[in-house]
Structure 1
Amino acid sequence: MYPLKFKPILKERLWGGKKLKEVFGKASISETTGESWELSTVQGDISVIANGDLADNSLQELIEKYPNELLGKSVVDRFGKEFPILIKFIDAKQDLSIQLHPNDQLAKERHNSFGKTEMWYIMDADPGAELIVGFNKDVTKSEYAKSLESDSLLDLLNYEKVKEGDTFFINTGKIHAIGAGVLLAEIQQTSDVTYRVFDFNRRDKDGNLRELHTDLALDAIDYKKKDDFKVDYSKESNAINSMVQCPYFKTNFLNLTQSMVQDTLKRDSFTIFMCVDGEAKIENDFGQVIVNKGETTLLPASSKKIKINTTGVKLLEVTI
């Protein structure tokens, strides 16, 4: 099974823009494309293979036929025949809504879903662009509820200026929002459960306010001020630099100026590469693929060796 590329699933969003087309060359015909889902088995949005002999088969079909070969036995033992993570690129022309995600237990009880732990890698940011991550002080549930009633929630939130290369880990329960002017790569658990708590009183194209999930969010929020979200990682050239190691995914940063070979015989997990800058030819025992900035490839767990041929590329390497 060779390195697989997939047809991007483009999502129109009230807050989206044109960078996914202009910067990455995604096939958008809209001026409000907010997301490119690169790898997904979310119901209704299942990725379809774009290259090679397996083209036009879905990722889910491949998992059903070759679970251990594609995912890895240890991954199948944990998650069954479900792809455990969702990979996206996001373009925020406007501020996203302020939101949070429930943990696994709440998500299972309420939505028969996984929770949503995620991470962001900033690929580009307009001058002054920022994120909202967590609270600026410890708050109580009643203080939070009162801030919604008085339209003063923004006064309780923590704002972070961002630049290219900044990385953030967003655990479940943490209130957050992507700010206007940010283009990023997102790695998350396979889940589309989001609790929206404030949307700047915006209206959609039909003049309607978007749904809020005020009551659901109350018991899902972490009300403590925590400085646990900014990821401090090495950017050493031609090395495997660890970024995030959590129960749901592991992400490394590869800043390569020359080719690299990895022995993956004992990895027992698929490998994803998100190209966040430059270009590389990535190959395993069965084939090769070229990835450019804003593209993603999936290599099966059966890959015994992975070779990255490049003179300049920055990659996010994701495994389980």
Structure 2
Amino acid sequence: MYGEPLFLQPVFKDRIWGGTKLKDVFGYDIPSHTTGECWGISAHPNGPSTILNGPLQGMTLDQAWQKHRGLFGGQSGEDFPLLIKILDAKTDLSVQVHPDDDYAQRVENEAFGKTECWYIIDCEEGAELVYGHHAKSRDEFQTLVNEGKWNELLRTVKIKPGDFVYVPNGTIHAIGAGTMILETQQSSDVTYRVYDYDRRDEHGNKRELHIKKSIEVAMIPHEDADFAPVKRQAGDLHIKKLIQEAYFTVYHWHINGTSHVMDNPLYMLVSVIDGEGEIETQNGVSSIKKGDHFIIPSTVKKFTLRGNATMIASKSN
């Protein structure tokens, strides 16, 4: 029986809006000064993580999903369902929207649409997100886009560190400059850009927009999702269930001391966003530190956490 966490090597993505905070804050060895994304737990073909320890060392997560489904409780499905990222938005991301499963499969030949959520690790004072819009109909949306009336169309919200934002498919959104987030999402890489501030890349070209598809998949009119975090405590582990919805359940964990966890579900995805400590399973003790990403497989039925650390954990629903 495989009785230890699967620690993963992240994959990094250069982005026009990226910076160096993934190195400065988390100590990652990033490939460029415009590194925007750390794919910490990924089985997506555009950037699968590699297992760093144990008998499966060197295997990618998608390979483990295909060949060792018992580690994931025998969960069905051809594709690993979730993708965990850390994003460094040095400048504004494009205003964008993601499709649902049906549209992604039918139009893009992608396994999943993209519902996501964000935990705000850090942001500059006064930072904002684009979240939703003010159009009441698709015709009004199209007219405001055609006329470039972005201030009339787009809805902005203030954010601060520790905030949590749920972004179901169809939500018009954009992460603002000076923001670092941990993103839990369906394992999809389909993004439709609505507006990109007329930016140009290093070759002087504007990035492609996807207005027609954006309007087809957007939630119009916009409606905020209704959810409420739930808190509980297990020993010295403070658990806040941030959201439970169709695709995932996401938790904020803070350990300051020791906690014995007895109810591991199918499998848990864990990213350490601050501090350090250790996790003990039937196979021994592993150290954990800020910037680590690991999976607690279903073959680990109980484990002990020690230390002073903050983590975002999630499971597939």
State the TM-score bracket (shorter-chain normalisation): over 0.9
Percent identity, aligned pairs only, is: 36
Show the 5 A alignment for 1:27-66: 27-66=29-68
Which of the pair is proportionally richer in strand? 2
Aligned to 1:300: 297
Match of 2:181 among 177, 180, 184: 184
Aligned to 2:132: 134
Match of 2:121 among 120, 123, 135: 123
SS across alignment from 1:200: coil
Rounded to whole Å, the distance in 2 between the matches of 1:263 and 1:243 is 20
Q: Figure out how many residues of one structure are paired with residues of the other and give that number.
A: 311
Match of 2:215 among 212, 218, 239: 218
Does the CA contact (< 8 Å) of 2:250 and 2:313 recur in 1? yes
Q: Which moved more, 1:160-169 or 1:253-262?
A: 253-262
Rounded to whole Å, the distance in 2 between the matches of 1:111 and 1:283 is 42
Q: Structure 1-normalised TM-score?
A: 0.92
Code of the residue aligned with 1:240 in structure 2: it is: I
Code of the residue aligned with 1:51 in structure 2: it is: N
Deviations 1:24-53 (A, max 9, x none): 011014110000001111113111112334
Deviations 1:8-30 (A, max 9, x none): 10100000001000000110141
Code of the residue aligned with 2:131 in structure 1: it is: V
**RMSD between superposed Cα atoms in Å:** 1.8
Does the CA contact (< 8 Å) of 2:171 and 2:222 recur in 1? no
Deviations 1:72-92 (A, max 9, x none): 13x22xx24x21100100000
Cα distance 1:256–1:298, how it changes in 2: closer, same or farther (>3 A)? same
Does the CA contact (< 8 Å) of 2:41 and 2:269 recur in 1? no
- Could you tell me how far 1:228 is from its partner in structure 2? 2.2
Aligned to 2:313: 317
> Is 1:262 equivalent to 2:264 in the alignment?
no
Aligned to 2:247: 248
Cα distance 1:179–1:229, how it changes in 2: closer, same or farther (>3 A)? farther
Deviations 1:144-172 (A, max 9, x none): 11111111123222211111110001001
Unmatched tracts of structure 2, length 5 or more:
none
Code of the residue aligned with 2:120 in structure 1: it is: I
Cα distance 1:88–1:231, how it changes in 2: closer, same or farther (>3 A)? farther
Aligned to 2:204: 207
Unmatched tracts of structure 1, length 5 or more:
none
Code of the residue aligned with 1:190 in structure 2: it is: S
Match of 2:147 among 150, 161, 186: 150
- Could you tell me how far 1:230 is from its partner in structure 2? 7.7
- Could you tell me how far 1:218 is from its partner in structure 2? 1.4
Does the CA contact (< 8 Å) of 1:167 and 1:231 recur in 2? no
Aligned to 1:278: 275
SS across alignment from 1:257: strand
Q: Structure 2-normalised TM-score?
A: 0.93
Rounded to whole Å, the distance in 2 between the matches of 1:185 and 1:235 is 22
Rounded to whole Å, the distance in 2 between the matches of 1:218 and 1:99 is 10
Aligned to 1:25: 27
Deviations 1:210-241 (A, max 9, x none): 11111111110111232327864548773322
Aligned to 2:89: 92
Q: Which runs of 4+ in 1 moved over 3 A?
A: 229-237
